[in-house]
């Protein structure tokens, strides 16, 4: 089997209704989607991604009314954020109803839910009688895909169809938010900044796990990783490598010490939004060059810069 790439929503729907998987475009990254109500389809997702079963999946749907069909309750602060940021790169953790299989949530009583901001995928979701469970469409631990071609390159032999919605505009995964008593907690930094969330609901707590087996949101310490070694300091790379063996992921200016052909610039104008949208494609490009090690440059630690730096840090963990 080799995946077909196209924009045929009825074909995508048919495959999903048969309990098979389709890769779907979203504004954050491409997802590997299956019927969230069907445990057999969910098992296929874990298999294709080679994902450990303790890492739960996000459920995607197209309206807040639909969310109410599979969650018990929505706290007030969750409602505020959902209304403000959906469709968009925000995922909320809510108490699940029984209709969501335990497999989806890895046994948790909470389910992660999101309405993605992508017209093609919203059209597909609204044509279905079930929501879609979808992790990022990459082999577990590797760089997330932001184009249909990225998905094809890594999972093309394990999929029937990749719905092509162009390059993901946001480019990094959704921000994951949970609600405990009166507190709003961010478990994964992502496409909506902490600053934007705090404008809506006040002070937010951040709990970013960095263990190798997190109890909370899939924040394994090593993740988003290219196959080459990644370090965050050029001088460290130069201890064991010649400068010609070094690739460099730069924020807004090339590093004068490294050959330009070995570099990728995230945003000439210094825009963090642009940098986020180019991040994973840049890492892939550098991973494909005939160099031996990748040096990544951190962005200023604010807004989306924080989410980008988080990805860079995890990519550099061995």
**Contacts to ligand TXA by CB under 6 A:** 26, 28-29, 31, 55-58, 89, 91, 93, 105, 108, 110-112, 114, 116, 134-136, 173-174, 176, 216-218
Residue 231 binds which entry of Mg ion, ligand TXA, none, with Cβ cut-offs from 5 to 8 Å by kind?
none
Q: Shortest gap between Cβ of 110 and ligand TXA (angstroms)?
A: 4
Rank residues 94 and 237 by Cβ distance to ligand TXA and give the closer one.
94
Q: Which is nearer to ligand TXA, 174 or 247 (CB)?
A: 174
Q: Which is nearer to ligand TXA, 77 or 223 (CB)?
A: 223
CB of 19 to ligand TXA, least distance (A): 19
CB of 18 to ligand TXA, least distance (A): 21
**Which one of Mg ion, ligand TXA, none interacts with residue 176, CB within 5 to 8 A by kind?**
ligand TXA
Supply the minimum distance, in Å, between the C-beta of residue 51 and ligand TXA: 8
Q: Which is nearer to Mg ion, 165 or 218 (CB)?
A: 218
Q: Which does 116 bind (CB under 5 to 8 A by kind): ligand TXA, Mg ion, none?
A: ligand TXA
Starting at the earlier edge strand, list the strands of the sheet with 132-133. Answer: 4-6, 161-163, 22-24, 31-35, 132-133, 58-60, 110-114, 90-95, 175-180, 183-188, 205-206
Minimum distance between the CB of residue 298 and ligand TXA, rounded to whole angstroms? 22
Q: Binding partner of residue 110 among ligand TXA, Mg ion, none, CB under 5 to 8 Å per kind? A: ligand TXA
CB-wise, 33 or 237, nearer to Mg ion? 33
Within residues 119-138, the interface with Mg ion by CB under 5 A covers 136
Under a CB-based contact definition with an 8 Å cutoff, are residues 234 and 255 in contact? yes
Which residue's beta carbon is nearest to the bound ligand TXA? Answer: 218
Comparison of 31 and 34: residue with beta carbon closer to ligand TXA? 31
Q: Shortest gap between Cβ of 135 and Mg ion (angstroms)?
A: 5
134 binds, among ligand TXA, Mg ion, none (CB under 5 to 8 A by kind): ligand TXA
Q: Which is nearer to ligand TXA, 94 or 250 (CB)?
A: 94
**Taking each helix axis from N to C terminus, what angle separates 304-315 and 272-288, rounded to the nearest 10 degrees?**
20
C-beta of 172: minimal distance to ligand TXA in Å? 8
Residues 6+ apart with CB under 8 A from 212: 220, 221, 222
CB of 243 to ligand TXA, least distance (A): 35
Nearer to ligand TXA, 217 or 305 (CB): 217
CA 51 to chain centre: 14
Residues of the shown chain interacting with Mg ion in the complex, contacts defined by CB under 5 A = 136
């Amino acid at each position: 089997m080799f995946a077909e790439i196209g924009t045929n929503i009825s074909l995508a729907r048919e495959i999903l209704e048969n309990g098979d998987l389709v890769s779907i475009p979203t504004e954050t990254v491409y997802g590997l989607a299956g019927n969230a109500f069907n445990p057999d389809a969910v098992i296929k997702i874990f298999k294709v991604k080679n994902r450990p079963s303790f890492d739960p999946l996000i459920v995607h749907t197209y309206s807040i009314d639909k969310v109410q069909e599979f969650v018990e309750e929505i706290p007030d602060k969750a409602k505020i954020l959902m209304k403000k940021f959906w469709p968009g790169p925000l995922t909320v953790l809510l108490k699940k109803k029984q209709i969501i299989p335990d497999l989806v949530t890895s046994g948790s009583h909470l389910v992660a839910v999101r309405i993605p901001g992508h017209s093609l995928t919203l059209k597909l979701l609204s044509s279905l009688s079930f929501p879609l469970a979808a992790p990022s469409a990459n082999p577990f631990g590797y760089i997330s895909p932001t184009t249909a071609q990225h998905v094809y390159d890594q999972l093309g032999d394990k999929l029937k169809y990749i719905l092509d919605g162009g390059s993901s505009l946001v480019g990094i995964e959704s921000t994951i938010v949970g609600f405990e008593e009166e507190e709003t907690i961010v478990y994964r930094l992502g496409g909506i900044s902490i600053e934007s969330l705090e404008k809506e609901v006040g002070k937010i707590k951040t709990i970013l796990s960095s263990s190798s087996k997190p109890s909370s949101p899939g924040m394994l310490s090593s993740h988003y990783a290219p196959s080459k070694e990644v370090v965050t300091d050029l001088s460290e790379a130069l201890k064991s490598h010649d400068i010609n063996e070094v690739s460099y992921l730069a924020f807004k200016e090339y590093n004068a010490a490294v050959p330009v052909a070995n570099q990728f610039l995230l945003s000439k104008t210094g825009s963090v939004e642009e940098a986020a949208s180019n991040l994973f494609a840049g890492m892939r490009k550098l991973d494909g060059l005939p160099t031996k090690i990748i040096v990544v440059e951190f962005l200023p630690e604010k807004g989306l810069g924080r989410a980008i730096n988080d990805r860079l840090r995890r990519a550099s963990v061995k």
